[in-house]
Structure 1
Amino acid sequence: MSEQDQQRPRRTTANWVLAGLITLFGLVVFTVTVRDGRADSALLFVALPVILAAALALTPGRTTHGRVFVVTTIALLLAAVALHEGAVCVILAAPLVYAVAHGTTALIRALRDASRAYAVFAVPLLLLPGLEGSGIGPRVAPDHSVEVVRVVALPADQVAARLAAGPHPVTVRSVPLRVLGVPTPGQVSGDGLDPGDRWMFGYHGSAHGPGGHLLAEVATVAPQRVGFRFVEDSSITARWFRWRHADLRWRALDAGHTEVRVTVDYTRGLDPSWYFGPVQQVLLGAGVGHLLDMMTLR
């Protein structure tokens, strides 16, 4: 046996036991999901994460950071299994979780030979970023706004007619939304740009899974401008942010082109702000862009 083979980490009984428990957990959740009529969700959100988690459980870490990576990844994969379609939350949070896990590991290793006085100051500094929104620390600037502009190759009166006809489901063109599997409305109803007119955006789901709907109502009307308020939000996205107000404007650029602008005010539901603020800004921008596509593309 070579020296390299002797130094290579070996699978232990604990590795096999952990892999077995993960597989058993996956089989139970997979069976329940299929019985609920969600076979597609079972394959994507249960089978795949469980297989990856079991494989990682059989992969001994060579270093401290390697072992931390394996344990953290298994925990994230199992969380994705439990959340099903809400696994996008795990994907969005994964970089932050890895950073905290490996940062904590590095700090602990650095403090082994450090004085106790240094540790007294270092540990609280590590915990401070995680206090935001916990009830102990205040939330930092949770209210945000996102604006998206489209130029439509149509005269202003035809664009106004399309907007008044209400949104219609269209194929998602945004790469971030498609890659991350962010929920988008699958059913849309309602039309009109007069005060009191309502638009309903429905999200696919079942009695055992995420779904719900978002109900928007025309609140204010001005020339080439409409303001919306949000009456009800039972959608899956309500766990991530709260819609506050939306403003729709359009203006003619020339005889054959019209600029359409949507501004949405929302309240971020996830903390810390320094991480989830930019992430949600990007995703909400893509989501509002999809809304504009639903209103202007036919």
Structure 2
Amino acid sequence: MTEPGEHEDEAADPSGPNHANWVLAGLIVVFGAVVFGSAVRHGRADSALLFVALPVLLAAALAAIPARTSHGRVFAATTIALLLAAVVLHEGAVCVILAAPLVYAVAHGATALFHALRGAPRGYPALVVPLLLLPGLEGSGIAPRLAPEQSVEVVRVVALPADQVAGRLAAGPRPVPVRSVPLRLLGVPTPGQVAGDGLDPGDRWSFGYHGSAHGPGGHLLAEVRASEPRHVAFGFVENTSITGRWLDFERADLRWRAVDPGHTEVRIRVDYRRGLDPSWYFGPLQDALLDAGVGHLLDMMTLR
């Protein structure tokens, strides 16, 4: 059985790309060429190949392929829009990747619902359409934000006595390879430059994203606010990096204790304010990614 209207979609399907398909593909290529040229002129040729050329080619190829069903057309239009958004955002394309499952779910869910309502009484769509909008109202100003204040806590046991761990922490973080698979697969920016050391009040640590293959520049600046034996509290002074698009770091709490003479437990808690809504989707997603990011920070402070 097929849904109402699907037979009409199949019958109207052309055997190959029509004039409109080729025009759309051509416009996408022209758009991509302009953005690519701008990226190259600004000395970003390497990242332009990944963040501009590849999405544009995929979008143009998709535009040249005629869709056979309404869901096919929705998928093509949604994918083209996401790919072009990735081109505009450049290195911020990771935002598009994170949001893509939600966008696809809403687009195809709405399409299926409208198919189901084709034979319904005339007043039904007017009642159902507002319901579709409700999940997207959170944080828009019309509906309140739900639990934007979040925190993550990461605990590691390192094979070092507590006094040596204190020495490593006082030396400040140092760049180390990213061990987290999600961070690597999604291309989430990680600091390429780290400066600063010390655990005394007023000491500052700077995490720079300048020159990173995936980062648009900027830095995250943390300051020691309180220090006592085996406990340091940090505040965040400034964040001009790409992470500022997604969240606001508020404070961090670092503690360590001896497990036995040769092992030390290091615990770090980071409080932040989520910048993306809706909470039911981006809340768990940001929590998982930040958990991986804080784990990487802990590696930077304890691994040498």
Q: If the TM-score is normalised by the length of the shorter chain, which range does it land in?
A: over 0.9
Cα separation, 2, equivalents of 1:167 and 1:281: 22
- State the partner residue of 2:84: 78
- 1:17-76 CA-to-partner distances (Å, cap 9, x unmatched) read 001111111111111111111111111001100110011011111111011001100010
SS of 1:221's partner is: strand
- State the partner residue of 1:193: 199
Does the CA contact (< 8 Å) of 1:172 and 1:178 recur in 2? yes
Cα separation, 2, equivalents of 1:110 and 1:134: 29
For residue 152 of structure 1, report the CA deviation from its aligned partner: 0.5
Cα separation, 2, equivalents of 1:154 and 1:292: 14
Q: 2:185 matched to 1:179?
A: yes
Range moving further from structure 2, 217-226 or 158-167: 217-226
For residue 118 of structure 1, report the CA deviation from its aligned partner: 2.7
- State the partner residue of 2:131: 125
Cα separation, 1, equivalents of 2:274 and 2:13: 49
Q: 2:220 matched to 1:214?
A: yes
Cα separation, 2, equivalents of 1:116 and 1:268: 41
| Equivalent of residue 143 in structure 2, options 137, 146, 154 | 137
For residue 117 of structure 1, report the CA deviation from its aligned partner: 3.7
- State the partner residue of 1:33: 39
- State the partner residue of 1:99: 105
For residue 223 of structure 1, report the CA deviation from its aligned partner: 2.0
Cα separation, 2, equivalents of 1:238 and 1:160: 30
Letter in structure 1 aligned against 2:56: V
Provide the TM-score with structure 2 as the length reference: 0.93
Cα separation, 2, equivalents of 1:30 and 1:151: 46
For residue 169 of structure 1, report the CA deviation from its aligned partner: 0.8
- State the partner residue of 1:149: 155
Cα separation, 2, equivalents of 1:7 and 1:140: 44
- State the partner residue of 2:64: 58
- State the partner residue of 1:233: 239
- 1:80-136 CA-to-partner distances (Å, cap 9, x unmatched) read 011110000000000011011111111111111112343233111111000001111
For residue 204 of structure 1, report the CA deviation from its aligned partner: 2.1
SS of 1:157's partner is: helix
Q: 2:272 matched to 1:266?
A: yes
- State the partner residue of 1:276: 282
Cα separation, 2, equivalents of 1:273 and 1:91: 17
Does the CA contact (< 8 Å) of 1:9 and 1:61 recur in 2? no
Calculate percent identity across the aligned residue pairs: 76
Letter in structure 2 aligned against 1:177: L
Does the CA contact (< 8 Å) of 1:205 and 1:212 recur in 2? no
Letter in structure 2 aligned against 1:110: A
- State the partner residue of 1:204: 210
Letter in structure 2 aligned against 1:285: D
Cα separation, 2, equivalents of 1:277 and 1:8: 43
How many residues are treated as equivalent by the alignment? Answer: 292
For residue 7 of structure 1, report the CA deviation from its aligned partner: 6.8
Cα separation, 1, equivalents of 2:130 and 2:200: 55
For structure 1, the 5+ residue unaligned runs are none
- State the partner residue of 1:170: 176
Does the CA contact (< 8 Å) of 2:207 and 2:221 recur in 1? yes
Cα separation, 2, equivalents of 1:217 and 1:13: 59
Does the CA contact (< 8 Å) of 2:13 and 2:68 recur in 1? no
Letter in structure 2 aligned against 1:147: E
Provide the TM-score with structure 1 as the length reference: 0.95
SS of 1:259's partner is: strand
Does the CA contact (< 8 Å) of 1:145 and 1:265 recur in 2? yes
Does the CA contact (< 8 Å) of 1:216 and 1:231 recur in 2? yes
Cα separation, 2, equivalents of 1:119 and 1:55: 34
SS of 1:53's partner is: helix
Does the CA contact (< 8 Å) of 1:9 and 1:62 recur in 2? no
Letter in structure 2 aligned against 1:51: L
Range moving further from structure 2, 282-291 or 106-115: 106-115
| Equivalent of residue 249 in structure 1, options 218, 243, 255 | 255
Cα separation, 2, equivalents of 1:29 and 1:205: 20
